[in-house]
Structure 1
């Protein structure tokens, strides 16, 4: 088998992975949208940050939810036909969060003066936070007191203390958001793997069988040439190269599916008249292991995500173009 043939087969295989990855991604985004997973994840993060138990309408987290996340929920609900932008959890500004948190402290401690810090100083504020009249959670009292105490120990000037306090509170919030982001991405990966399993079994995407068919079929060159056209077109318009950075996924899905529509006899899917005829004949342990291995390889590949396979396709097409130019 020549190098050109190997590259052609690799392009066709990567394209199949790319199309399946986009399909999986679209389903996952619909699930995220329907269940409001991003907003709920952020809400859980604020609950942990403030050390509160979930309770409707009474917690400080609920107040932040009503201000930041409820409008987000309504916005997403009114645009369900439009795929949401990819990425992690919906974030709110650390600076705005700290501003509102300080205002919340003033309300809880019943400070009427908006410039209460200049009037009372950090020592008095820490004392009031830890008093029995303050209804903050024990965790919130400990965290706010510790940050305020560091500001007192570091600086004598009230202005410098306040500036340091705000910076530390922003870092405190950002650390919680980073943890939530990692947690969300980890959960997203699990969902992606589960969906990949479903897609692979639904469409019988068997890597071993696909490679076997592509190595013997004349359609491989057709797939490779058509895919090259689509990938080059998308690269020039930059519609898919940054799908995880605020690019609408629908455009990419549409272009990929259009390419699939133009190609017949892709080596995927079930023969419904005799579903076990091709891959499992003869039906023995060796063939079963071969098919299961092909499915597992496909699941691993598809769960890598569409941007990954788009990058692989670009690299393969560049290699193919360079080789053709030399010849």
Structure 2
């Protein structure tokens, strides 16, 4: 039973690697990460038209250098950044609200205050910055269209006092919490795409989970070869984060996964067509009759699609756990408990 479970999980792993690579290629070509990030920032800044704070933030120097071209709400957004560091976002947002940084002179000369003594100019600059933030946040909070971003900013400014660094850290934490929600959106979208790809793969390859389990339970040679391949498996590459992996490498990973499915003789694929069927209509009718004669096949396809939608990392972790259980069970099967040599005397 453990070998059958390992075989099924390993097959799901190979299919998931193939599907995950295809899904990542599709999502990357559509720049889905960048679009989800933009949607999250739109929601965070309450700027659905992206012509207000969102446009200012994206065209700010702290964010502008993360993608090519200029952010234009009227054009198709295919060059959006897939990731914006929280520090860059906080500085860009605060500077876009009141624009105080460019108005201050970068010096720290000593000036005499009213009460006597010397106070660094940097203290006065900090007070000017925080006061500018307060004024801008108050204006945003009083506007019905921007109150959702103005009121949180006012709360953060009140908690930070005159400490501009603490205010920046509060904005960074606010942004990071919103990005956690954006990450959940992207994972949900990826799950839907994977399920669709998995369903197409299950039908196109006739990857019937029920049939695979039955075949593995009967064919010990196939079961042993798949278990041996599973033992030599290394951690596959999961969904890419948008950096450091070329399209050619992803395509090669998908091709390697598909070739391994064929080399192991995994029970997937369609039987040869009926030689007596000559016209396309007859061939389709014969194929439909062959499917209806096996009603469990539809359930098997659906189970395969669900398994693929879980992703390659999930099945790799499951495979490792089952392999650990198998390694602890096998030695016990080989060594039986010896009976006690001491016999009770009657």
Tell me what 2:305 maps to: 299
SS in 2 for 1:270: coil
Q: Residues 61, 220 of structure 1: CA spacing in aligned structure 2 closer, same or farther, 3 A cutoff?
A: same
Please, what TM-score do these two structures have when normalized by structure 1? Answer: 0.72
What are structure 1's unaligned runs of at least 5 residues? 1-5, 76-88, 153-157
Q: Residues 148, 12 of structure 1: CA spacing in aligned structure 2 closer, same or farther, 3 A cutoff?
A: same
Aligned pair 1:139/2:148, yes or no?
yes
Aligned pair 1:40/2:42, yes or no?
no
Please, what TM-score do these two structures have when normalized by structure 2? Answer: 0.69
Q: How does 1:105-124 map to 2 (within 5 A)?
A: 105-107=97-99, 112-113=103-104, 117-120=125-128, 122-123=130-131
Q: CA deviation at 1:97?
A: 1.5
Q: CA deviation at 1:94?
A: 1.2
Aligned pair 1:149/2:158, yes or no?
yes
Structure 1 counterpart of 2:232, from 230, 240, 243 = 230
Q: Residues 128, 65 of structure 1: CA spacing in aligned structure 2 closer, same or farther, 3 A cutoff?
A: closer
Tell me what 1:62 maps to: 55
Q: CA deviation at 1:278?
A: 10
Q: CA deviation at 1:315?
A: 3.1
Q: Residues 71, 16 of structure 1: CA spacing in aligned structure 2 closer, same or farther, 3 A cutoff?
A: farther
Tell me what 2:271 maps to: 271
The whole-number CA distance in structure 2 between the counterparts of 1:282 and 1:148 is 66
Which deviates more, 205-214 or 139-148? 139-148
Aligned pair 1:186/2:179, yes or no?
no
Aligned pair 1:28/2:23, yes or no?
yes
Q: CA deviation at 1:261?
A: 4.2
Tell me what 1:202 maps to: 204
SS in 2 for 1:164: helix
Aligned residues: CA RMSD = 3.7
Q: CA deviation at 1:139?
A: 3.2
The whole-number CA distance in structure 2 between the counterparts of 1:122 and 1:197 is 55
The whole-number CA distance in structure 1 between the counterparts of 2:62 and 2:216 is 52
CA contact (8 A) 2:90 2:171 kept: yes
Q: Residues 190, 320 of structure 1: CA spacing in aligned structure 2 closer, same or farther, 3 A cutoff?
A: same
The whole-number CA distance in structure 2 between the counterparts of 1:34 and 1:41 is 14
